[in-house]
């Protein structure tokens, strides 16, 4: 069992529904975003394009953060997810400096509302002074639900499933549509895959092949 | 382009003080046991160094603890020493401090068993000397293991920190033992220590230059780090603090001290000593503050 996510860069429109859905579901403190969409402008006028890159914890198979965690607060569970035990974290911030994907943040545990509003089932977990990051909504997985960012995506750019099962939707998408990992050269083997956009080299190969097949 | 490049805000002054005090303490202790090994007639110097080194390392620890997000859990830092350098450091520092306190307790005060039993003392010195060296090396390896900061990801930072630990260690020991050293008979030892520090500062200069040149050509992020140190907003701290106060002025002052000892010695030593210590602290802070964290924004599929 190895949970993974596939994000179709062709379908992402940069609407941040995932960022907000994550914030609501996980009740993250102000200033903390476990899920985010980066907007990048590329090229020079008149040949300019804007790319949207949704980002979250890559749930690496061989995570850099675990190697520097001196408290064993960061650990890998049986489903291959990288988790943080907020009861154990001392907030030394070494993992933030070790993660090459920049998905971890330390927070002071502030709240949006001055009074205690019951909000989400994970809110009480956010201890001030500890490091936090995306959990793939592991509390939803037990109920058989998908992560909040996946079900909130209006363009179904995100897919979630078991990477170790070759017949799962995610495995098929990765196989059929040239799914790639974000900077695999870091050597951490992320569980988040991206499907190449049309403008990219891989995308050009895929869409040429696809139109060729249609003509047949 | 294609990378989010920001200076890391997580480890700043508190960690700089911690690395500085730990390095300086380890350096002072190492110098003390070298003096004990090869210059046993200057026993006051090695005694002072053992006391000073142990105390400085102990003084550094509160700075690490106040930097933690959950200070009350600091003992948990020792849970995973197998792979994590924060955890390894926890044990290296702990063993060093315990052995250092034993060294003081059985040599200087309250017991004096090691005073007569020199062989046993030297065994303890050498064993704890290894841990003192470990403390100095650890301050560099801690930063080296943070892989998202390319500026720190080089063995040169370890060499730089070890040499800086020794040079600040020598000078802190000189300042600490000043009352003894300026007395008649102490001048020979004083001049020897100053000459040694002169050489260390020269090596430190060369390593620093080599480090910056290497990093300027390594990656985009490490080039930004070098830029912000030498030309960016840290340039005053770097050129004024680290280079001028920490290396150049002490070097000039010491050249006068070593080669023309008829000048007002104590004053010169005091001024250059304080400048070297300030330079050592600013070196740590500069390297921490210039640590650019590089996180790629774009995938490399295009």
Q: What is the per-residue pLDDT for A117?
A: 67
Mutate to test the interface with A, among B86, B91, B225, B287 (most CBs of A within 10 A): B86
Asked if residue B270 has a cis previous peptide bond (ω within 30° of 0), the answer is no
Q: What is the per-residue pLDDT for B156?
A: 97
Joined tokens for residue B20: 């500085």
Q: What is the per-residue pLDDT for B228?
A: 94
Q: What is the per-residue pLDDT for A130?
A: 92
Interval A171-207: pLDDT, tens? 999 998 889 999 999 999 999 999 988 777 777 777 7
- Is the pLDDT confidence value at B1 over 60? no
Within the 12-31 window of chain A, which residues sit less than 8 Å (CB to CB) from chain B?
A: none
CA terminus-to-terminus distance, chain B: 14
Nearest to A191 by CA among A168, A215, A214, A216: A168
B235 to chain A, minimum CA–CA distance in Å? 24
B62's CB contacts (< 8 A; 6+ apart) are none
Interval B173-185: pLDDT, tens? 999 998 888 777 7
- Is the pLDDT confidence value at A136 over 90? yes
Verify whether the Cβ–Cβ distance A92 to B73 is below 8 Å.
no
Nearest residue in chain B measured CA to CA from A99: B148
Verify whether the Cβ–Cβ distance A68 to B70 is below 8 Å.
no
Determine the average pLDDT of the residues in B6-30. Answer: 96
Q: What is the mean pLDDT of chain A?
A: 88
- Is the pLDDT confidence value at B295 over 90? no
Provide, as residue numbers in chain A, all residues whose Cβ is less than 8 Å from the Cβ of B139.
none
Determine the average pLDDT of the residues in B155-174. Answer: 96
Nearest residue in chain A measured CA to CA from B73: A90
Name the 3-class secondary structure at B125: helix
**Smallest Cβ distance to B293: which of A97, A131, A202?**
A97
Rounded (10°) CA dihedral B188, B193, B198, B199: 110
Name the 3-class secondary structure at B173: helix
Verify whether the Cβ–Cβ distance A128 to B299 is below 8 Å.
no
> Which of the residue ranges A120-134, B64-78, B265-279 has the most confident prediction, judged by mean pLDDT?
B64-78
Q: Quick check: A97 and A89 in contact, CB under 8 A?
A: no
Within the 129-158 window of chain A, which residues sit less than 8 Å (CB to CB) from chain B?
A: 129-131
Mutate to test the interface with A, among B69, B71, B147, B294 (most CBs of A within 10 A): B69
Joined tokens for residue A7: 């994000």
Q: CB-based contact (8 Å) between A49 and chain B?
A: no
B56 to chain A, minimum CA–CA distance in Å? 21
Burial environment of residue B192 by CB neighbours within 10 A (0 to 12, 13 to 18, 19 or more) = middle
Verify whether the Cβ–Cβ distance A94 to B295 is below 8 Å.
no
Verify whether the Cβ–Cβ distance A40 to B298 is below 8 Å.
yes
Provide, as residue numbers in chain A, all residues whose Cβ is less than 8 Å from the Cβ of B68.
90-92, 129
Q: Tokens 């205690």 belong to which residue? A: A116
Verify whether the Cβ–Cβ distance B70 to A182 is below 8 Å.
no
Q: What is the per-residue pLDDT for A95?
A: 95
Q: What is the per-residue pLDDT for B302?
A: 47
Name the 3-class secondary structure at B234: coil
Interval A87-134: pLDDT, tens? 999 999 999 999 999 999 998 877 777 776 666 666 556 888 999 999
Q: What is the per-residue pLDDT for B57?
A: 97
Can you say whether residue A80 is alpha, beta or left, with left for phi > 0 and alpha for psi between -120 and 50 degrees?
Answer: left
What are the φ/ψ torsions at residue B161 (nearest 5 degrees)? -70, -35
CA dist A21 to A11, A14, A58, A135, A151, Å? 18, 14, 18, 14, 9
Report residue B257's pLDDT band, with 50, 70 and 90 as the boundaries. low
Within its chain, how far is the Cα of A172 from the centroid? 19
Q: What is the mean pLDDT of chain B?
A: 91
Verify whether the Cβ–Cβ distance A93 to B10 is below 8 Å.
yes
The CATH class that applies to domain A3-215 reads alpha beta
Within its chain, how far is the Cα of B100 from the centroid? 17
Verify whether the Cβ–Cβ distance A70 to B78 is below 8 Å.
yes
Provide, as residue numbers in chain A, all residues whose Cβ is less than 8 Å from the Cβ of B87.
70-71
| CA-angle at B213, arms to B209 and B217, nearest 5° | 165
- Is the pLDDT confidence value at A28 over 50? yes
Q: CB-based contact (8 Å) between B9 and chain A?
A: no
Interval B211-252: pLDDT, tens? 999 999 999 999 999 999 999 999 999 999 999 999 899 888
Interval B76-131: pLDDT, tens? 999 999 999 999 999 999 999 999 999 999 998 888 888 888 899 999 999 999 99
Q: What is the per-residue pLDDT for B297?
A: 85
Q: CA–CA separation, A15 vs A35, rounded Å?
A: 12
β-pairing verdict for A192-195 and B292-296? unpaired
Q: Tokens 């291959």 belong to which residue? A: A80
Determine the average pLDDT of the residues in B243-271. Answer: 79
Nearest residue in chain B measured CA to CA from A90: B70
CA-CA-CA-CA torsion sign (B105, B110, B111, B114): positive
Q: CB-based contact (8 Å) between B82 and chain A?
A: no
Q: DSSP labels for chain A?
A: --EEEEEETTT-----HHHHHHHHHHTPPTT--SSEEEEEEEEETTEEEEEEEEE-----SS-HHHHH-SSS-EEE-TTS-EEE-TTT-----HHHHH-TT---EE-----SSSS-----SSGGG--TT-EE----SHHHHTTTPPPHHHHH-TT--EEEEETT-TTSHHHHHHHHTT-EESSGGGSS--SEEEEPPTTSHHHHHHHHHHHHHHH-
Verify whether the Cβ–Cβ distance B69 to A91 is below 8 Å.
yes
Q: What is the per-residue pLDDT for A119?
A: 64
Q: Write down the ipTM of this complex.
A: 0.91
pTM to 2 decimal places = 0.93
Domains (range + CATH), chain B: 3-296 (1.20.1630.10)
Name the 3-class secondary structure at B119: helix
Asked if residue A46 has a cis previous peptide bond (ω within 30° of 0), the answer is yes
Q: CA–CA separation, B131 vs B145, rounded Å?
A: 19
What does R_g of chain B's alpha carbons equal in angstroms?
20
Q: CB-based contact (8 Å) between A50 and chain B?
A: no
């Amino acid at each position: 069992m190895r949970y993974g996510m596939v994000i179709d860069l062709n379908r992402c429109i940069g609407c941040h529904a995932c960022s907000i859905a994550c914030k609501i579901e996980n009740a993250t403190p102000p200033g903390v975003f476990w899920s985010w969409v980066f907007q990048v402008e590329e090229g020079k006028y008149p040949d300019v394009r804007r790319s949207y890159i949704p980002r979250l914890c890559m749930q690496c198979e061989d995570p850099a953060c675990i190697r520097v965690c001196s408290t064993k607060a960061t650990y890998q569970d049986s489903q291959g997810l990288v988790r943080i035990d907020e009861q154990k974290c001392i907030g030394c911030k070494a993992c933030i400096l070790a993660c090459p994907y920049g998905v971890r943040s330390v927070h002071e545990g502030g709240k949006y509302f001055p009074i205690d509003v019951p909000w989400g089932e994970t809110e009480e977990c956010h201890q001030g002074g500890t490091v936090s990051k995306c959990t793939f909504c592991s509390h939803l997985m037990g109920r058989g639900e998908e992560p909040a960012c996946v079900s909130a995506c209006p363009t179904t750019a995100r897919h979630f499933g078991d990477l170790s099962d070759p017949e799962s939707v995610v495995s098929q998408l990765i196989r059929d549509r040239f799914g790639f990992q974000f900077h695999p050269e870091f050597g951490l083997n992320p569980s988040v895959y991206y499907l190449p956009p049309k403008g990219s080299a891989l995308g050009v190969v895929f869409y040429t092949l696809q139109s060729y097949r249609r003509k047949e | 382009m294609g990378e989010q490049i920001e200076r890391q805000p997580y480890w700043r002054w508190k960690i700089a003080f911690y690395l500085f005090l730990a390095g300086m303490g380890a350096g002072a202790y190492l110098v003390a046991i070298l003096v004990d090994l090869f210059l046993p007639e200057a026993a006051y110097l090695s005694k002072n160094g053992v006391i000073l080194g142990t105390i400085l390392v102990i003084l550094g620890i509160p700075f690490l603890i106040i930097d933690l997000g959950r200070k009350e859990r600091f003992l948990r830092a020792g849970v995973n020493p197998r792979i994590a350098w924060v955890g390894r450091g926890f044990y290296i520092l702990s063993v060093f401090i315990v052995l250092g306190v034993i060294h003081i307790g059985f040599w200087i005060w309250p017991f004096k068993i090691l005073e007569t039993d020199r062989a046993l003392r030297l065994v303890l010195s050498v064993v704890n000397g290894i841990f003192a060296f470990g403390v100095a090396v650890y301050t560099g390896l801690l930063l080296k293991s943070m892989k998202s900061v390319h500026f720190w990801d080089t063995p040169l930072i370890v060499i730089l920190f070890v040499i800086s630990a020794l040079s600040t260690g020598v000078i802190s020991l000189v300042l600490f033992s000043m009352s003894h050293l300026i007395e008649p008979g102490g001048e020979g030892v004083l001049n020897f220590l100053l000459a040694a520090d002169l050489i260390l500062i020269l090596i430190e200069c060369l390593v620093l230059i080599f480090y910056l040149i290497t990093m300027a050509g390594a990656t985009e992020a490490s080039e930004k780090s070098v830029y912000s140190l030498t030309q960016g907003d840290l340039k005053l701290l770097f050129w004024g603090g680290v280079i001028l106060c920490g290396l150049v002025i002490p070097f000039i002052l010491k050249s006068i001290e070593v080669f023309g000892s008829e000048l007002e010695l104590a004053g010169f030593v005091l001024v250059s000593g304080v400048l070297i210590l300030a330079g050592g602290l600013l070196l740590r802070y500069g390297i921490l503050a210039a640590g650019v964290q590089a996180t790629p924004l774009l995938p490399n599929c295009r």
